[in-house]
Amino acid sequence: MATQGKKYKEATKLVDRENAYPPREAVALAQKAAFAGFDETVELHLRMGVDPRSADQQVRGIALLPNGLGKKVRILVFVQGEGARAAEEAGADYVGSDDIVKKIEDGWLDFDVSIATPDMMGKVGKLGKILGRKGLMPNPKSGTVVSAEDLPRAITEARKGRVEFRLDRTAIIHVPIGKASFDEAKLLENLTALVEAVMKAKPSGAKGQYVKSAFLTTTMGPGIRLDLRSLVS
């Protein structure tokens, strides 16, 4: 069994496990407890009061984080014809159709977001097993299958800090909100934007308490319980 390191043990002493912290305090504490030798990612973990097995209780959506995620997002666009020029002008890192499909089949996956136009989905569909496992498959529900006219908007959103959230099979949502090096105010703004998006995505079949618990943590740091009333107000 793996043992906890000295630095982690010191970080846990900063957190009162019995206490639920208001968002601003939790963000500041997460930054203080980040001890790794790299810029840790700050993450929000939500335990939802819905049944992931029920079709009418699925929670899924998009949040636009006003301050981004603190990293360069590499964007691939599957498009052909005149739309290719629009994608390139909008700042996509990789643009193509059959050539890109072949490249991915050969093992290339050096991108973070993929966007496609509807006419390309017949070709992109055969990449489902490859891209699906990595969470890179374009999907209309996540706003990554758009018309050629909407490509500039979709690319801009992906570049700024567009994150997708969805319920996993254990009824938990895990989403990054930025880096530990961010200003406290910027992390708080990102957290607020994400929570607002999750609340708006409440499914029609949800009953009882929608969000059961919420924790903030960094890549290597301890979990910090959030006060739900302060979080969703």
Residue 2 pLDDT exceeds 90? no
Could you please state the CATH topology (level 3) that the domain comprising 6-59+167-232 is classified under: Ribulose 1,5 Bisphosphate Carboxylase/Oxygenase (3.30.190)
Distances (CA, A) of 23 to 47, 55, 187, 228: 16, 31, 10, 9
Domain ranges of the chain: 6-59+167-232, 75-159
Residue that wins the pLDDT comparison between 48 and 159: 48
pLDDT of 157 reads 87
Task: Phi first, then psi: give them for residue 115, nearest 5 degrees.
Answer: -125, 145
Domain 75-159 in this protein, CATH class: alpha beta
Q: What is the dihedral of CA 94, 100, 101, 106, to 10 degrees?
A: -110
For the segment 187-197, what is each residue's pLDDT rounded down to a tens digit?
A: 999 999 999 99
